[in-house]
Amino acid sequence: MLDFHIERAKVLPKSNLWSFLEGLKKISPLIAPVKRGNKTVFSEVNDISDITINYTRTILPPKKFLVPYRRVRFTYSTDDLSFSSNFKARDQIIFGIHSCDLHGISILDSVYLKENPDPRYLEVRKKTVLIGISCMPDDYCFCLSTGTAFPDGANWDLFLTDIGADYFVSIGSPKGDELIIELKELFRDIEREDLELYKRSTRKKKEAFKNKKLPDLERISQLIELEYESPVWDEEAKRCLSCGTCTNVCPTCFCYTSIDVPDFEGKTVKRVEFTTSCQYPYYSLVAGGHYFKPTRTARFRHRYYHKFVGYPYQIEKLGCVGCGRCSAECPAKISMVETLIRLRGTDEKEPGKAAEQTSAGRSL
């Protein structure tokens, strides 16, 4: 029988959360945040009691389940140069993604699918269900500035907002709707007061940013272009170790290097792609020994330039979602927020401006 409902959202009582997760795991392999030491990582779960609901940020963003950090693109034989691949996407559900990471995935969607679409990414993406969950910021978060504090405008399937005793479940796609229908006995309909609580939770998250240092991203593209020769780049880059941690933990970084690895007999060759970093010197090295980004300052600045000037040109969105990973994980304690504030200079900051989320999600 056709099962159909027209609710725009549902309510999941918190007491049903574990049954919900158990239900998800029965449908597809389930990926969720789990504790690793005193940090959290996204990992496939066998036992749902391993899942941690309240976390601030994972070490790596969930992109590793969409674009593995090391992947074999093709295998070819050196006899006849026939290229083949045994790649096969599997169904998967990623649960517990914060709003910033959902926006990060949407940015990757644009990068991989807008022009010259990558069939492999599309296949993975079609088979992946994204379930988001609301969160509260810590000192590294600045998603309110980047316009990614809430999941509006991103690509996802379900989003759970904590409204006290329940989760307010927004439905973002037919795939998300199907999950609700499949597990419908766990949900109840929304009522007037649920909506009120939902609106209050939005206010609560905004208020949590009140005493935090936020960068003013108004016309950030132009700022970075005009301040291209600023001494701030040199000063900040002096502390940089060129270790590439910032780009490796970034939810929107996509640069990779590709190498051909022959086997011992030289009969078959694997074309391996692996994540690289614009912070490594070899990133811009061409045959003949010329480095197009020879200095640490040039590479350090390139990351900011690409995030705030490059992405807006390439995909019409900022390339930063304010997750705070690059600042939190940097061994030299370089903070993106601090650099942006220094670059703008304190005197021209308009009070109150920074803490406003624009509807477009970006301000140039």
Partner 1 sequence: MKKSLEKLLNKPLPVDPFKPQRAVITDIEELAPDHKKFTFSFLDEGVAKSWDYIPGQFVMLTVPKAGEIPISICSSPTRKGFFELTVRKVGRKTKVLHQLKPGDVVAVRGPYGNGFPVGIMENHNVLIIAGGLGMAPLRSLVWYILDRRNRFKEIYLLYGTRSYEFVLYKEELRRLKEREDIKCLFCLDRVETPEDREWADIEGLLTELIPQVKLEPSETYVAVCGPPVAYKFIGKELLKNGYPESQIFVSLERKMECGIGKCGHCQIGYKFACVDGPIFPLWDTKNLPEML
Q: Binding residues for partner 1, per CB under 8 A?
A: 73-74, 76, 78, 80-83, 106, 109-120, 122-123, 125-126, 151-156, 159, 170, 172-173, 225, 228, 254-260, 262, 266, 269, 271, 273, 276, 278, 283-288, 290, 292-293, 298, 302, 305-306, 309-310, 312-314
Kindly tell me which of 27 and 298 has the beta carbon lying closer to partner 1.
Answer: 298
Least CB distance from residue 116 to partner 1, whole Å? 4
Give residue 328's identity as a one-letter amino acid code. A
Least CB distance from residue 119 to partner 1, whole Å? 5
| Residue-by-residue DSSP string for 222-252 | HHHHHTTT-HHHHHHHHH-----HHHHT-SS
Least CB distance from residue 120 to partner 1, whole Å? 8
Rounded to whole angstroms, how far apart are CA atoms 244 and 305?
16
* Alpha-carbon 205 to chain mean position: 19
Give the residue from 78, 15, 41 showing the smallest Cα distance to 263: 78
Kindly tell me which of 4 and 313 has the beta carbon lying closer to partner 1.
Answer: 313
Task: Please check whether residue 43 is in contact with residue 34, taking contact to mean a CB–CB distance below 8 angstroms.
Answer: yes
DSSP letter assigned to residue 102:
H
* Alpha-carbon 168 to chain mean position: 22
Kindly tell me which of 25 and 166 has the beta carbon lying closer to partner 1.
Answer: 166
Kindly tell me which of 43 and 339 has the beta carbon lying closer to partner 1.
Answer: 339
Helix, strand, or coil (residue 44): strand
Least CB distance from residue 283 to partner 1, whole Å? 6
Q: Which two tokens stand for residue 213?
A: 């240092």
Kindly tell me which of 272 and 332 has the beta carbon lying closer to partner 1.
Answer: 272
Give the residue from 128, 130, 137 showing the smallest Cα distance to 54: 137
Least CB distance from residue 269 to partner 1, whole Å? 6
Least CB distance from residue 55 to partner 1, whole Å? 23
Q: Which two tokens stand for residue 198?
A: 């939902």
Rounded to whole angstroms, how far apart are CA atoms 43 and 36?
10
Helix, strand, or coil (residue 157): coil
Least CB distance from residue 88 to partner 1, whole Å? 13
Least CB distance from residue 284 to partner 1, whole Å? 6
Kindly tell me which of 129 and 183 has the beta carbon lying closer to partner 1.
Answer: 129
Rounded to whole angstroms, how far apart are CA atoms 18 and 91?
21
Q: Which two tokens stand for residue 188?
A: 């109840």
Kindly tell me which of 12 and 309 has the beta carbon lying closer to partner 1.
Answer: 309
Sheet holding 83-84, edge to edge: 83-84, 70-77, 268-275, 256-262
Kindly tell me which of 2 and 81 has the beta carbon lying closer to partner 1.
Answer: 81
